[in-house]
Chain A
């Protein structure tokens, strides 16, 4: 493991290797599969954003947080929603401040224009004056512009991009490919240090090809049993190995059912936490039935699962015996 840099390193240094990424994320409590680690490494190596797709609750947003925590960078988050536009995502003029300043400076106007001999000269002076109001002072940076202005780089998380409108996607293209934005009055603002960009999507709608082309495409599905056990272990250190194995086995069985919303990793962790709080030593029929609502978020799903609980619990316990 080459990566032993202190976590407070401010400058984004190039990543040493894929193993370094894995161990760095693990230190933040994020157990990454090989593919995830490769994606994070490549994003750094060829300076590309990562587009993460997958079902809800498999740790797409967590990934960004873990990267930020590990590399000691600030995380800037832009939550997308329908109707999100330039003014809320990129920058906005501080209209109120502009108005206030013009009011205050009204008296100055006489002085400024007083020196001008001709109307033409006055107009020129007025032009200079006007530019003052459209300067950096009056720009209110929103998340995207903030991300470009971070002196040490940052992790920019654009969450649930599929919720935004198609027009907003086009707005992102310039930032994603060149790490710069054009503001008509100011010119082009380039990133001081290219930020690490993570976009997440729940595939609610198909994203445009132009956006996809600019990103590395990472699909995070439900983790394998071994990996999920490690995730639970790192998140809830107090849990016994026996319970952990039974619980993950049980959840993998539930995922084979035809449900409206499959339990994902975040539900696994919540459930494990609940079971630890209830001081359950191992999985039992009654405990599972009482806490099933932590795992399943629809009444119909709970009903569909109840008849299988006994079988699954028995199977999980049996598997535990042979597993050891």
Chain B
């Protein structure tokens, strides 16, 4: 059982629950004190000792159900497959029992077990062979075939094949029955391997997938990957939150705050046992984001807005604007709807036009210029391709004079800036920072740099 529980810990880690050795020791002690007889109690015990947040509790619960369920789904499958085989022989066994028994005497243990059709014995044999083949080492789906054949080898499939050949010659009906049972066995083994992959391979598979996804250009990912990308963006947001939302370190030196020191030490007749120091006030980032939602940049803007708006703890105030032909404020739409719905609404209002940077910047200057203060970071996300219309770089200059920093994120590579209708070089002169921002990884770095400035 101890082995089983250790395997469960590994599976749980794969499911995204962080379990430290100390926690696994606690869990073991807890299990020792409640026993393993009651499944629900065991589940509660693991949830209490291992999972430390609501998300982890859910993940661990699912993992538990998957891990400690195997006997149940396997048995019915076995029963269904072998039901006819078990029941029919029992009925017909009465007559040819002598012959059948005599025949099975000469068979290998695996063949005998299959012919007896005892599902729990077969399940036990699969479990033993699985641990002998160290099935819990499985990492990638490509290893499924390898592990299946390894388990079948260990169970004695070679001998079974010989038996099958012999029987086909000597006792065809029995051979048929054995062949059917063998197929059922293969199915069961394949199921067991798939389940193990689900339990133990999830972490690796996910890491691999995320690694690929992080470096894929956001503008060109396939629709089915959008959901995965959203999950990834949320992970990035969580990481940034954890890193940058810690309370900023108190100042322990500098100017003495006389007023507070006297008040604090009133109890000791004003003798300053405890000192209070003046603190420098540090702002949380205020961000104004202008996002191009035309054509190819739309998708990048989508993920960027999702990321910025999931940084509540780090960023105190975000105002987002979207533009293509003209510019509108979209903060409220993003706050009130889930990301997909919000993006749909935004696109229906301003999306799919050909972009006009000059007009959009003019809209911004006329209506929202006052929300740019010396504490604000203005982020513009766009390819700066203005279809040869007036770029109005003078407005960008005025914005950059008003704000703390002006950051331009461009999904295109540096090499194409300034070619064709790209106005990037003109805008670039007024920007504090310009970056290429095409993949999730670049997005994360860009946003991390922006919030780090305020630390």
User: Which of A's residues lie within 8 Å of B, judged by CB?
Assistant: 18, 34-35, 38-39, 41-42, 45-46, 48, 51, 53, 95-96, 99, 165-166, 205-206, 209, 212-213, 216-219
Contacts and interface: CB of A to CB of B under 8 A. Distances in A.
Nearest to A165: B247
A116 B389 CA distance: 97
A213 B33 contact: no
B33 A217 contact: no
Contact of A42 (B33, B52, B313): B33
Contact of A213 (B23, B45, B268): B23
A217 B33 CA distance: 17
A46 B26 contact: yes
Contact of A46 (B29, B57, B246): B29
A42 B48 CA distance: 9
Interface in B27-75: 29-30, 33-34, 40-41, 44-45, 47-49, 51-54, 57
B20 interface: yes
B267 interface: yes
A42 B54 contact: no
A191 B30 CA distance: 22
B48 A218 contact: yes
Contacts of A38: 34, 41, 44-45, 48
Interface residues of B, number: 29
A216 B52 CA distance: 8
18 contacts: A18-B34, A38-B45, A39-B48, A42-B45, A45-B33, A45-B34, A46-B30, A48-B26, A51-B52, A53-B54, A95-B273, A166-B247, A205-B245, A209-B52, A212-B53, A213-B22, A217-B53, A219-B57
A38 B45 CA distance: 7
Contact of B30 (A42, A166, A205): A42
A237 to B, nearest CB: 30
A127 to B, nearest CB: 22
A213 B52 contact: yes
Nearest to A14: B33
Contacts of A51: 52
A96 B44 CA distance: 51
A39 B23 CA distance: 15
Contact of A217 (B30, B40, B52, B242): B52
Interface string B237-249: 0000010011100
A96 B268 CA distance: 6
A214 to B, nearest CB: 8
A46 B268 contact: no
Contacts of B52: 51, 209, 212-213, 217
B337 to A, nearest CB: 13
B44 A46 contact: no
Given A45-B34, A219-B54, 10 more contacts: A34-B44, A38-B41, A38-B44, A42-B34, A96-B267, A99-B268, A205-B245, A212-B52, A213-B52, A218-B48
Nearest to A47: B29
A35 B44 contact: yes
Most buried by B among A18, A96, A217, A219: A217
A18 B41 contact: yes
A213 B27 CA distance: 11
A121 B89 CA distance: 104
A264 B146 CA distance: 54
Nearest to A45: B33
B273 A217 contact: no
Query: Ordered nearest first, which 4 A-B pairs have the shortest CB separation?
Result: A45-B33, A212-B52, A46-B29, A217-B52
A96 B271 CA distance: 11
A96 B57 CA distance: 50
A95 B20 CA distance: 43
B312 to A, nearest CB: 12
Contacts of A216: 26, 48-49
Contacts of A45: 29-30, 33-34
Contacts of B40: 34
Nearest to A215: B52
Contacts of A34: 40, 44
Nearest to A43: B48
A125 B49 CA distance: 53
A165 B18 CA distance: 24
A24 B101 CA distance: 61
Interface in B319-346: none
Contacts of B29: 45-46
A219 B49 CA distance: 12
A35 B247 contact: no
B48 A213 contact: no
A35 B48 contact: yes
Nearest to B19: A213
B29 to A, nearest CB: 5
A213 B246 CA distance: 19
A217 B246 CA distance: 22
Nearest to B40: A34
Contacts of B247: 165-166
Interface string B1-20: 00000000000000000101
A39 B26 CA distance: 13
A213 B30 CA distance: 14
A166 B242 CA distance: 13
B208 to A, nearest CB: 26
Contacts of B51: 217
Contacts of A35: 44, 47-48
Nearest to A54: B54
A80 to B, nearest CB: 15
Given A45-B30, A46-B29, A99-B268, A166 B246 contact: yes
A95 B270 CA distance: 12
Contacts of A96: 267-268
A34 B42 CA distance: 12
Contacts of B34: 18, 38, 41-42, 45
Contacts of A41: 34
A99 B271 CA distance: 11
